[in-house]
A and B are shown apart, each in its own frame.
Chain A
Amino acid sequence: MRDVIVFVEHSGGQTRKVTFELAAEARRLADALGGKAHAVVAGSGAAALAQQLQNHPLDKIHYTDDPDVDKYLLDPFVDYLEAVAKMTGPSVVLVPNTMLGRDIAGRIAARLNAGLASDVTELRVENGRVQCVAPKLQGSTITTCAFKAGDYGVITVRPNAFSAAPKSMGAEVLSIEKPPGKSYKMAVESDVEEASGELGLEEAPVVVSGGRGLGGPQPFETLLKPLADALGGAVGASRAAADAGWVPYSLQIGQTGKIVSPQLYLAVGISGAIQHKVGMQTAGTIVAINRDGTVPIGETADLLVVGDLFQIVPALTALVQKAKAAHA
């Protein structure tokens, strides 16, 4: 286990920010292991994205713009990642802990007969072995796992847990050959956007989340969106809000939704059920607005303001906007 390989997640011609965090971590691990840091980028626009990745501390960037990657589900991604991994020999594969990353992780682990560490928030190398620190059991326990030294290892990494460190090291850009004899089966017929612009939820520095307390879909637009915009963040939701159909499921934060770790998390009208907390409890600062002072979110929050969200949120938005205007 010497080299480190980063799976590059991208969409709409843009590399997801978490990729840059993984690139910085790959550099650090590769140096400690005495190996090289690679990235694998596949899909439409990959050639251009590979060029941009040269601004990050990598040694080799492997790319393919094979159209099959976008036409078929998952398998082409896994094939290309496997091809690079097999070329480098026993290595560490880093994928983001996102919907796509989780799908890729189990598959590539099986292909490489590798161990899988998930939702990792800290990485280190001890005696040549990579150790992964991850919160488990709904955040109640922090476990450290180690891979066997001579094997492959696959790690899903929590977005926002590491910092990017852009730096050009003159990485080589190489095209990957299509593995022979592949035919793909699960075809993507159409792609429908329900929540445009919300792709960055896991990566947003600020998340303003609404729950059942919002009472309907409108307050997400009229109350939360302006506050999120003023704070430079994204809107999220509890499962209760998604279940009610007020927002698409893609905004749901929690065990069955997205796991976020922003600098600031604002929980508005959310009680803080354990399944919700799992998705946000590692945020830097947590502020809750709730009319009930005894809600469980109080055990996780840094500040709990007890009052009516319909009065507090607009007033807060105005304060933030005013401060921003004064600053500009």
Chain B
Amino acid sequence: MKAPALKIVVTVKLVPDPNAVRRIDPATKRLVRTGVDTALNPFDEYAIEAALQLKERLGPETTVTIFTMARESMKESLRKALAMGADDAVMLSDPALEGSDVSLTSYAMAQALKKVGFDVILSGALSDDGNTGGVPGALAEYLGVPGLTNVRKIEEIGDGRIKAQRETDTGYQVVTGPLPALVTVTMAVGEPRYASLKGIMGAKKKTIEILSAADAGIDRPLGSDGAKMEVVAIAAPKSREKARVVEAADGASGAQAIFDFLRERKLV
């Protein structure tokens, strides 16, 4: 029996290279995104991996579309996702969206994703720079679809239903529900694959469609005007004093050094 084809959309945030030094501009109180290499949010690479695994399972008629909301100048950073094996990409880009907070970002993404269409949306659990983890939940609400979070394994998908294992604080749950749905994945889905040379060559010809806020039908105040929260101050963290370093001659002396230290701090 042939598995039914699915339209999969993966939300991918473009973030400053996780290996670069991160800096907030004191004037705008926003993350500096210029002059820093842009990378795919590492957690979203796992969502791409999960999507490509589904495509392998369900056959070539299943498509994987990458979706991002980002500046148009970051467009080329999406080639990596296409080189990994995604079919195409859609970018929601509009200067009016700069400075959006979680709820506005999610709302704007939802409007665009309704235009794009999907059977299932795969997202990472959190972004390396924003780190709120709030977008997928809010996105599911604005789209009016059920959300299935922290999935480590998709057991069954197709015929309008999904069955998956999701991680919990103490183990996992098996959850079933209808499609369309939004699914966030954990790193347990498997290491993101590397792009092959053929993939890299092929990615150059794949399409990246750009949608403006108007194209997406966004009808709310945008950017910082629409944001419900503002950054009022930024500061450096309290620096910790450098560690006391003790070379332990043997187990007993190492243990004694720790024990004495804990005593000093009244922790034992």
Contacts and interface: CB of A to CB of B under 8 A. Distances in A.
Nearest to A187: B176
B177 A303 contact: no
Interface residues of A, number: 94
Given A107-B141, A110-B138, A231-B268, A98 B152 contact: no
A141 B259 contact: no
A188 interface: yes
Given A98-B169, A137-B24, A194-B172, A305 B257 contact: yes
A311 B230 CA distance: 51
Interface residues of B, number: 85
Contacts of B146: 73, 75, 185-186
A148 B229 contact: yes
B138 A109 contact: yes
A153 B22 contact: no
A186 B175 contact: yes
Contacts of A299: 242-243
Interface in B13-29: 22, 24, 29
Contacts of B168: 99, 191, 250
A316 B253 CA distance: 9
Interface in A293-323: 293, 298-308, 310-316, 318-320, 323
Interface string A27-51: 0000000000000000000000000
A31 B257 CA distance: 46
B171 A250 contact: yes
Interface string B154-177: 000000000100111111111111
Contact of B251 (A11, A153, A192, A308): A308
B237 A142 contact: yes
Contacts of A187: 175-177
B129 interface: yes
B198 interface: no
Contact of A99 (B150, B177, B229): B150
A107 B229 contact: no
B243 A298 contact: yes
Nearest to A75: B146
Interface stretch (A174-182, A211-219, A281-289): A281-289
Contact of B133 (A118, A139, A310): A118
Contacts, number: 287
A117 B24 CA distance: 17
A255 B146 CA distance: 25
B149 interface: yes
B135 interface: yes
Contact of A118 (B132, B141, B147, B166): B132
Interface in A85-123: 98-100, 102-107, 109-111, 113-119
B104 to A, nearest CB: 9
Contact of A106 (B24, B137, B241, B257): B137
B65 interface: no
Nearest to B188: A249
A147 interface: yes
Q: Which 7 A-B pairs have the closest CB atoms?
A: A311-B251, A106-B137, A115-B228, A307-B248, A115-B229, A315-B255, A106-B134
Given A136-B131, A192-B171, 15 more contacts: A73-B149, A105-B134, A107-B141, A115-B101, A115-B229, A141-B22, A141-B235, A142-B234, A142-B235, A186-B148, A186-B175, A187-B175, A249-B152, A255-B131, A308-B248
22 contacts: A73-B147, A75-B146, A98-B169, A106-B102, A115-B227, A116-B101, A136-B24, A142-B237, A143-B231, A143-B233, A148-B229, A190-B174, A191-B171, A194-B170, A195-B170, A199-B170, A249-B167, A299-B242, A306-B246, A307-B247, A311-B251, A319-B255
